[in-house]
Amino acid sequence: MPEEILEEEIMPVAPLKIAALEGCREFAGKVDQHLAALRRAEASTSGNFHPMAGYLKDSYLVDCKCSRFGTGEGKGMINDSVRGCDLFILVDVLNYSLTYTVNGRVNHMSPDNHFQDLKRIISAANGKAKRISVVMPFLYEGRQHKRAKRESLDCSLALQELAQMGVSNIITFDAHDPRVANAIPLNGFDSFMPTYQFLKALLETVPDLQIDNDHLMVISPDEGAMGRAIYFANILGIDMGMFYKRRDYSTVIGGKNPIVAHEFIGAPVEGKDVLIVDDMISSGESMLDVAYQLKERKARNVFVCTTFGLFTDGLDKFDEFYEKGYITKVVTTNLNYRLPELLTRPYYAEADMTRFLANIIDHINHDVSISELQSPTGKIQELLERLDI
């Protein structure tokens, strides 16, 4: 908790409980452990603090599940009382490893299925919780955040539906476009960035990384990632470059205009390590092309940092690029389901977000400011000072 909070102001809004959908139970378990440890530490360092009943627990998880009938229809069930509690529901809409049966045929869970299960658990709470917050690290339909011509506005509709069901807060990470929050202007919407966790993971796995303007440069792979790259460059005091995509707007393939080429704008990268930052790796085709272009410009090492590693086309191409020396390290968070084999790859590093999310939940449960969590500048500077960088 922030040091400026007085003892009499530390009490939470209501008893905390966490409902984790099946697709993120392992991740939620680690968040739960951090929460329990965090609160025990708070209590031990506050001499006059007398916590309310249920404040200090070994676990805040509630028993919940979504079962299905043979037709594929489902229902949500919460087997513990949530009356009067501050309920946080965690869902990973990207976990396609889960399956269900429809008339004897096995189907994999899609984001649509996970979103329906989320609504089922909200419905199962039956209006008894004092407040409901949804933790959805990858924002459902976040890539369909704006309308071009005659298109659906899926993300806005989903947020409005959650708001109408009584959800007070939406907690997400690295939203594709945070302005989608305008769809629910009277509800809480917070998008957090894993900047500090990226840097920490890189420093732990790349011992010879030199963070100065002579040895490191930040690269935005497209116009949409400019904000992330500018923040990285400013906080680290290094140069930034950008690629922009030339597309063939006369053709549509897979729902989008194909990329003809990546054009680079920025200072020379020759002999420097380069850090590519973006919100996600989907198929990885665009990211790998950027890495190739940088190596052709004689960059020393290429590090890729993305919040969500989807790898929808598998890992073969990344393996090939690593073997050829086009990429040195790929860092993603553990906010979404990842291929098990990815975790064994020599070029992969994980940015652990469980402690960070535990702090977010703890702050929101106490209704205190989260501005220090949204801006990791201080923590990054402390990390660099501690490592004498």
Mean of all residue pLDDT scores within the chain: 89
Entry pTM? 0.90
Lowest mean per-residue pLDDT among 13-22, 226-235, 325-334, 350-359: 226-235
Tell me the range of 178-182, 352-356, 368-372 where mean pLDDT is highest: 352-356
Specify the length of the chain in residues: 389
Would you say 297 and 322 are in contact if contact means Cβ atoms under 8 Å apart? Answer: no
Q: What is the pLDDT of residue 172?
A: 96
In this predicted structure, the answer to whether residue 118 has a pLDDT above a threshold of 70 is yes
Least trusted range by pLDDT, from 4-18, 124-138, 236-250, 290-304: 4-18
277 pLDDT above the threshold of 60: yes
| Separation between Cα atoms, residue 270 and residue 268, nearest integer Å | 6
Contact of 99 with 106, CB cutoff 8 Å: yes
pLDDT of 275 higher than 90: yes
217-245, pLDDT tens digit by residue?
A: 999 988 777 888 898 888 888 999 988 77
Is the model's pLDDT at 5 over the cut of 50? no
Cα gap 162→183, rounded to integer Å: 11
What is the pLDDT, as a whole number, of residue 10? 66
Ranges assigned E (strand) in 45-179: 64-68, 74-78, 86-90, 99-102, 105-108, 131-135, 167-173
pLDDT attached to residue 3: 43
Find out whether 37 and 382 touch, Cβ atoms under 8 Å: no
pLDDT at 369: 87
The highest-confidence range among 8-17, 47-56, 137-146, 344-353, by mean pLDDT, is 344-353
* DSSP type of residue 253: B
- CA dist 227 and 370 (Å) reads 20
DSSP secondary-structure letter at 160? H
3-state DSSP assignment of residue 250: coil
How many C-beta atoms lie closer than 10 Å to residue 270's C-beta? 9
User: What CA–CA distance (Å, rounded) separates 17 from 119?
Assistant: 17
What is 274-338 written as a DSSP string? EEEEEEEESSSHHHHHHHHHHHHTT-S-EEEEEEEE--TT-SHHHHHHHHTTS-SEEEEESSS--
Tens digits of per-residue pLDDT, 73-85?
Answer: 999 999 999 999 9
Residue 266's pLDDT is what?
Answer: 83
Residue entry with tokens 């393939």: 253
Distance CA 146, CA 180 (A): 8
Classified as helix, coil or strand, 341 is helix
* Residue in the block written with tokens 């960088």: 389
pLDDT > 60? residue 148: yes
Position 4 scores a pLDDT of 44
